[in-house]
Structure 1
């Protein structure tokens, strides 16, 4: 039995949702987390994949010590790739240890009077009244398929997010569009399953991340900058460890940082696996696509304008995720229309609160405000601390007010 009005309802039980739930429970807030823990990671990521992030940057946000990824695993050496199943197990363990019993249902609709009480309808039929809602929906709703490919049927073109296994492509010709980690790892996993993949990308040359750890002299290491959750470099360290600074930059500068920090590249440990089994068509892009019998025909163009006719059994668009609040179906049109936006993302204040008091956004939807770290697990702790710090200070007044200070009641939350 729950109180008639709770303090906060968290939509999503991935790294950001679980982190917010953990901080909220620690702060003594009445909180419910809606979603199956790590469901997206478990059911929408390729079974054989590895995380690109290093162990120190793969922890969920916790208000108490002892719950990092390395502590769960008894220490995980730097430079050893993390298998997907290991990370999923860590997230599920974190939920058991720190989060307030995530509920395996779905949020269908968020309605109400911003700044007072929201009414959230669940797939169970229950209606939950809450003073605040945190949208931690992850990346799933925002899978991006290029416009030339989007009109084709899903029998011919899919986004990489829908593929957990690749066995059905054995013996098939598959074009993988993209040059980032998702595209390159998808191509390798396809080859491992007996498919004949080809990587098609605009870039004339694939980029690869370097082996982590200190290299060169102390002076060279100093000049290169510190290691952070987003890699090495002084500016990268700021975007990673001090994301609040990004918010003070002009919108165009923030957009440039999000777009160009950690551009498309493969992990260092994947490079040797992308061998002769994987074809490459680099420096090209799709200008037309159409069904051709039960296959797909692509017209691709290089930088000189020369065109090539490409036939394949299937195309997988490993072309990332583009946040857009209009794709969050749980938010009705009347609420979405009232949101101030930065591009297609919600414009957020210093506490991740949108222009609708009591409605917060965490994860990818916050990247337009707080920068590229919000695209990664590493940003979960900062987001959870900021959101719950604000909630802990304002909920006691019976309403969430955007002009209140952000200092939490429990100083340990800002360790």
Structure 2
């Protein structure tokens, strides 16, 4: 029986694997390394987060983004965006240097066993010649990234795939040269996708429910007068004390009242474009604000969109393709690899579809851990970003060792989990970001 299986090989999965190996565990890690960054972001995209806030986590902190950039003759400088392609290559370098080998195979099923642990089924790995495999694991960490949770507005879901897609579906936008594309959304993914489309000669418009686009401002220098630092400290989520709390104290966030957490998720770190994108975007892309897609239907080999404004007026637009850059919702129901009985048995965060977790990211089913977007309702906004991997990795490994009996105390297989500490609030997280 395997002690630990990590499902996913993005920033969270690789960071957890690195900490697990350093702790003496021998995890099996499955997935395509840095898949979301390699397969879902086209050339020309830039990293929105600062380089110093975009590190994967190894126990010694020796394999950060700046260290990799130096090997490529690139300086990772504050206030200077780096190519997403460079970040993807950094993740592959990290996987080679700081993590155990990754098996580029897909976990297709995780089922609970009556005596404790899980049955894990993995596909054969494409052209590898390997057969489908099922084995036993005592603990499983889900580090599946965001792709399973992509949101497409209801009116668009009935369209054929050649007419509608999500922003995470595109590693190459050149297929849209010479076409008309409508991008739905107002965040960085929408605005940068639209900009890249316009720059390659695509006719493009952005449709957004909001009445204005929000743009981040140029970050101040890292070295500033003490008074400025005291008023608005730097964090990996932007300047300010609220952002500092989200970035530096996820454990404290987990103890906030449910209503507070729900309010934060409706207001904190909402859709916004990077400061360096604004000049390229404005004047190059048609923008339709205060409108949403009310209906969508094929129109020959194109798509007719009925756009309704906040005033109630309806306008029709015909386009060749719609790209939904409309975010992600961490619902367990979207994780088809989890056994249905297991999914139904997990305690959830109020009315949301996200799992409830304890301080070490363990769900209500002993031995099952969740990270990244799935843990954001418990630990706050930082878990939506690479930044959260550093907080997560060591704590998950601590929880795994405790569950295996190699930590401070042993918990027998199948034992019920510890109750939440006194005073810990239950959550009622709202959908979306």
TM-score range, shorter chain: over 0.9
Q: Is the 8 A contact 1:391 1:400 kept in 2?
A: no
1:129 partnered with 2:136: yes
In 1: Cα distance, 2:161 partner to 2:106 partner: 25
Query: Residues 130 and 202 from structure 1, CA distance in 2 versus in 1: closer, same or farther, beyond 3 angstroms?
Result: same
1:215-234 mapped onto 2 (5 Å cutoff): 218-223=226-231, 225-234=232-241
Query: Residues 114 and 339 from structure 1, CA distance in 2 versus in 1: closer, same or farther, beyond 3 angstroms?
Result: farther
Q: Deviations over 1:186-238 (max 9, x none)?
A: 10111122101001111111111111124996534422x21111111111111
Provide the residue aligned with 1:273 in structure 2.
280
1:159: how far off?
1.0
Provide the residue aligned with 1:355 in structure 2.
364
Q: Deviations over 1:112-162 (max 9, x none)?
A: 337822111110212221110000000010110011211222222211111
Provide the residue aligned with 2:382 in structure 1.
373
Unaligned 5+ segments in structure 2 are 125-131, 422-433
The residue matched to 1:319 in structure 2 has which SS? coil
1:152 partnered with 2:159: yes
1:198-347 mapped onto 2 (5 Å cutoff): 198-214=205-221, 218-223=226-231, 225-342=232-349, 343-347=352-356
RMSD: 2.0
Q: Deviations over 1:264-315 (max 9, x none)?
A: 1000111111032211111211222222121111121222222222111111
In 2: Cα distance, 1:221 partner to 1:306 partner: 47
Provide the residue aligned with 2:187 in structure 1.
180
Q: Deviations over 1:29-84 (max 9, x none)?
A: 12111112112210122222111110011001111131111122234111111111
Q: Is the 8 A contact 2:181 2:321 kept in 1?
A: yes
Provide the residue aligned with 1:411 in structure 2.
none
In 2: Cα distance, 1:114 partner to 1:232 partner: 49
* Alignment match of 1:399 (pick from 389, 396, 413): 413
Query: Residues 161 and 381 from structure 1, CA distance in 2 versus in 1: closer, same or farther, beyond 3 angstroms?
Result: same
Deviating more after overlay: 35-44 vs 135-144: 35-44
In 1: Cα distance, 2:115 partner to 2:21 partner: 21
TM-score by length of 2: 0.89
1:320: how far off?
0.9
Unaligned 5+ segments in structure 1 are 407-415
How many pairs align?
A: 401
Provide the residue aligned with 2:3 in structure 1.
7
1:71 partnered with 2:67: yes
TM-score by length of 1: 0.92
Provide the residue aligned with 2:391 in structure 1.
382
Provide the residue aligned with 1:47 in structure 2.
43
The residue matched to 1:72 in structure 2 has which SS? helix
In 2: Cα distance, 1:273 partner to 1:115 partner: 58
Q: Is the 8 A contact 1:110 1:119 kept in 2?
A: yes
Q: Is the 8 A contact 1:230 1:236 kept in 2?
A: yes
The residue matched to 2:194 in structure 1 has which SS? helix
Q: Is the 8 A contact 1:114 1:359 kept in 2?
A: no
